[in-house]
Structure 1
Amino acid sequence: MRNSLDCAALDAAMEHVHRAGMPGLFAEVRDGDQVWRGAAGVADVTTGRPVTADMRHRVGSITKTFTAAAVLQQVESGQIELDAPIGRYLPTPVPGESGDTTTVRMLMNHTSGLAEYLPYAYPSLKAFPALADTGPQSLDDHRFTRFDPTELIEMGVTASAVGAPGGAPGMYSNTNYLLLGQLLEQVTGTTAEQYITRNVIERAGLRDTELPAGPYVDGPHARLYEAWFGMIDPPRDYSEYDMSWVWSAASAISTVADLNHFYGRLLAGEIVSPSSLAQMQRTGPVISQEGRTIDYGLGLHPMDGPGRSVFWGHGGTVWGGGTLAMTRADSKRQMAVAVNLQRWNRLDSSGRPQPHPIDDALAALYRVAMHG
């Protein structure tokens, strides 16, 4: 297949996102042996320090792909059965009927029916995603709170279920991936961070990726600005934030180069076996936290490309930061984009996010990056 990296078009698309209102963004796009890296805007709106394409970044729920790969390695070794009830391994956090009917696979593909713990950990987000009834004050209250994942899991497990185990569509819930972190610890006898680091991050050869739970990002990085739908004006910097609130679901730090390298090796069958990768790519409908229906597998979701090409990867957000990493099924064309502003849309009278120029500009960048 002919390489088709239009560097001038990628540079222009990046700059357009910045001019639309994004403080800073950076990206890497690959096509075969060709590599383009670019950046636009600032890492710090106060000093004007520019972003660079090699910056480390909180990648949010992209962490789920790493956690899912680690669990599937344990499935391959016979320590975990994908369709076994989670209560077999974790009877205390998921007791009774829920533990008997919710399988490991259901946690991985968000069909467990378990509620999201986030509104309970962050009281001012109690109506999330009914955005008009939320407020940002809990974000500051918990900037340096050290959460125990067991407590967060209990919030989700004891809340009213959002669906029956295995039902369709599923409901995206971080509770699922905290349970998968605990599952890894139960069967490996080590921490989830240590296991994922040794068997996924290091196995993939990643040099700038880590799974922390602390509040700081080491090395060059951008400030992360949260607007919370116009309720924080001007947007506030949350680049220092204790990430124990999302642990094995969304606390990883990486670079755009490492993300492309990781997904390339994953889709080439070098992190999990080809049969495990096929399980990851079995998708069903899931309602996202934004209320959209997406196709979701086991820590992966697809995006359609031109013709019949399909890209696989994941997106992620934290307070103030966002990332999207997508790799074509043949591992040749890849895109990873990081931004340092989140929830830039203001709400209309019904509480729905209004369109913003950043939305169209990002969509245009993704098209150029993925499709040439």
Structure 2
Amino acid sequence: MRNSLDPAQLNAALEEVHRAGIPGLFAEVRAGDQVWRGAAGVADLDTGRPVTADLRHRVGSVTKTFTTAAVLRLVESGEIELDAPVGRYLPELVPGERGASITVRMLINHTSGLAEYLPYIYPSLKGFPVAGDTRPDSLDDHRFTRFDTVEMIEKGVAAPAVGTPGSGQGVYSNTNYLLLGALLLKVTGTPAEEYITRDVIERAGLRDTGFPTDPQIDGPHARIYESWFGMIEPARDYSVYDMSFVGPAAALVSTVADLNRFFRLLLAGEIVAASSLAEMQRTVRVFSQESKIIDYGLGLYPVHVSGPNTFWGHGGSVWGGGTLAAIRADGERQMALAFTRQRWNALDADGRPQPHPIDAALAAFQRVALGG
């Protein structure tokens, strides 16, 4: 059958990723009415505690799909205009000509031209999101720093522009999504994390998804380990971390089961209207992290798998943890994957990440999971 799952094949492919160098990973794959959940490796390198498929996990930029959904629901109700200038809503944060030329849509699809603020709050990262000439020192310096959202936005807005607003190609920037969080607060009077929780997460019936309120991850979870392009050896545990540095851009905690439920409802038109989903699937070229070009929509992008089918989803990373969620356009096959090591690729002389066995193993698991 086209949609059938092979548990033995899925388990073997997941185990190969672990053998390639990921301490622990877990996933849920769905095909029609079939559901497979699996895990490989350990949740804690010190104790050897095994990883399980029901653990909570920092999902990074998958948060952006949730934030986008909250904004688009307000577009549907007429409280936000998608192609209105952001200066109409937030003149104090994006003033003058830039506020007049950057629209809400441009924030969501990263074509605003606004720079990434992270190198300005983490000085050792320098040219991030491009790997470039970076060091991981700032990650430890700010493990427990409580950052102010407005100050981070101001740093991104004040930085040299990385493009012309509305041009055909964008540059991925978390500054955009901090501004979307500020927009949610301005329009609703409710902090973005609270509004997204009430209007998207709870509406979708997600029981294990939420924004952290302190550096700990609530509930059962795995430790996550950062390699920072081979500069941290052995990989360091960053599972305890203050996530105020990303907020509505990448701070969400969830499970693979909740992520699959969310994307299944999203593609079925039960989170946002069909017209909003169509807008989410209109893509532009975006220069993303670590020198990659992706076709980015509104908080959603195509996940490429060999074969004729189209998949939509989003990936995410935090210091130490990675996530990928993808669903076929007809909703009949999907995957959510979480893994506990990040930035394992060493850099070449030009600062570009080099291939690693983990890359091939992850791609192989993705093909098995999504039927490619």
Structure-1-length-normalised TM-score = 0.98
Letter in 2 for 1:28: E
Name the counterpart of 1:84: 84
Q: Which runs of 5+ in 2 are unaligned?
A: none
Per-residue deviation, residues 109-155 of structure 1 (Å, max 9, x unmatched) = 00000000011010001132453521111000000000011010001
Distance 2:213 2:280 in 1: 26
Tell me what 2:201 maps to: 201
Change (3 A) 1:330 1:7: same
Letter of the 2:212 counterpart: P
SS of the equivalent of 1:278 reads helix
Number of aligned residue pairs: 372
Aligned-residue identity in percent: 73
Q: CA deviation at 1:308?
A: 3.1
2:61 is matched with which residue? 61
- Cα distance, 1:175 vs. partner? 0.3
Q: Which residue number corresponds to residue 173 of structure 1?
A: 173
Contact 2:130/2:289 (CA < 8 Å) preserved in 1? Answer: no
Partner amino acid for 1:64? K
2:35 corresponding residue in structure 1: 35
Taking the aligned partners of 1:174 and 1:205, their CA distance within structure 2 comes to: 27
Contact 1:213/1:247 (<8 A) preserved: no
User: How many angstroms does 1:84 deviate by?
Assistant: 0.2
Computed over aligned residues only, the root mean square deviation of the Cα atoms, in angstroms, reads: 1.1
Partners of 2:323 and 2:277 in 1: CA distance: 22
Match of 1:348 in 2: 348
Written as runs of structure 1 = structure 2, the 5 A alignment for 1:75-154 is 75-129=75-129, 131-154=131-154
Distance 1:191 1:313 in 2: 26
Retained in 2: the 8 A contact 1:213–1:251?
Answer: no
How far apart in 1 are the matches of 2:306 and 2:43? 33
SS at structure 2 position matched to 1:221: coil
* Other-structure match for 1:255: 255
| Cα drift, residue 212 of structure 1 | 2.5
| Aligned residue identity for 1:257 | A
Residue aligning to 2:367: 367
Q: Which sections of structure 1, spanning at least 5 residues, go unmatched?
A: none
Q: Distance in 2 between matches of 1:358 and 1:184?
A: 38
Q: How does 1:212-361 map to 2 (within 5 A)?
A: 212-361=212-361
My pick for the range that moved more, 295-304 or 245-254, is 295-304
TM, length-normalised to structure 2: 0.98
**Hey, what's the Cα distance between the residues in 2 that align with 1:353 and 1:277?**
33
CA 1:100–1:292: 2 relative to 1, 3 Å: same
1:163 is aligned with what amino acid?
G
- Mapping 1:159-170, distance limit 5 Å: 159-170=159-170
Q: CA deviation at 1:292?
A: 1.4
Distance (whole Å) between structure 1 residues aligned to residue 81 and residue 130 of structure 2 = 37
Partner deviation per Cα, 1:307-335 (whole Å, 9 max, x = no partner): 43111110000000000000111111010
Deviation at 1:253, TM superposition (A): 0.2
Q: 2:72 corresponds to which letter in structure 1?
A: L
